Amino acid sequence: MSDAILVVNAGSSSIKFKLYDVVGGALALVFGGAIGGIGGMPTLRVTDGNGDSLTERRFEAAAVPDASAAQHHLAEWLLEHLGGREIVAVGHRVVHGGPDFAEPVRVDDAVLRRLESFIPLAPLHQLSNLDPIRVLRQRRPDLPQVACFDTAFHRGHPELSDRFALPRHLYDEGVRRYGFHGLSYEYVAGRLREVAPEVAGARVVIAHLGSGASLCALREGRSQEATMGFTALDGLPMGTRSGGLDPGVVLHLIEHKGMAPAEVGHMLYHESGLLGLSGLSNDVRALLASDRPEAAMALDFFCRRAAQAVAGCAVTLGGLDALVFTAGIGENAPEIRRRIVAALDWAGLILRNDSDGTGMARLDAPGSRAQVWVIPTDEELMIAKHTMRLLGRTAPGAGA
């Protein structure tokens, strides 16, 4: 029986997973997939290590009404397809590590209680991230579980990047800029060291653009500033999240529009961003295909804010040597990349013809003052590597 590591990346409407064989000090992907559409039109899709389809199964909505039911179906499928492997540990993506956790940690009762206390800081994610951990601890208390944090990569920021202009005692209590998408940034930074070592240690901005979107400024491969702050609501406009907002708007909605805090929170997390701007969709593909002026405006807004954020990160770094796009939009929407880089032409960024939209590629044209890359992210592989290290085994570099 061979050893394997399972990675679980759980959200509110989907559970992504990957299984890796542990071969010496390396990891080999066996299969990966997701149960999506939880509570709506649930579907299990799994592909093997080569990307070929293994399973595609649709469920009745009543069969997978919530994440707990999805975990049950996932466990059943895994048991049938382990093929003589033994899962020796499970690694989990946990969005918020708060002020306590600056690196991955093995989960025990005390750690789990502390992570539960951060749910108000990431209400859209943290509860969903922790549910599989609780279920597994009940069913397999002997199985090691590792929490890997999206905030950890940003720990060690200079205080100037961490602070809000609020009284000091709030900062000391943990009200600070944490930054998110750290597992993605860590992976992409590792890949950049492999494919472009001449700039990887210089002034780099990574744009993680997906349904959740943020930017990170890196120097010597380390995070210096991130556009997300105390919560994953800050920074760029996203699929359904507002991004940065005048706090006076929140006060106005509560004090003068009579909205309850929970109503405001729901609007900012679920009804804003591209969906709120367009009134049509939170999906960039749908907005690009639409001829409605509201769709065009939403995309223009998103691209302008992203370009402004790149410029802000360049100020922190004192310049820009490379801009890297990653995540769903960043990897697959060349038109969005083109618009963002076009808004930065004053800084000397020049894009060559960029039309295929998939895979890793260098995109800058001769004469560009900074390199421009697309590097697909792999948060699950990053989680698997951290999990393997906590088991006392070794793994190659982050981008391998």
The residues annotated as belonging to the active site are 150
Under a CB-based contact definition with an 8 Å cutoff, are residues 138 and 107 in contact?
Answer: no
* Beta-strand relationship, 43-48 and 26-36: antiparallel
9 strand-pairing partners: 16
Termini Cα distance of the chain: 25
- Round to whole Å and give the CA distance between 13 and 129: 11
Under a CB-based contact definition with an 8 Å cutoff, are residues 282 and 165 in contact?
Answer: no
Under a CB-based contact definition with an 8 Å cutoff, are residues 153 and 186 in contact?
Answer: yes
- Round to whole Å and give the CA distance between 314 and 204: 8
- Percentages helix, strand, coil for the chain (3-state, rounded to 5) are 40, 20, 40
Q: Supply the DSSP string of 260-280, one letter for each residue.
A: -HHHHHHHHHHS-HHHHHHSS
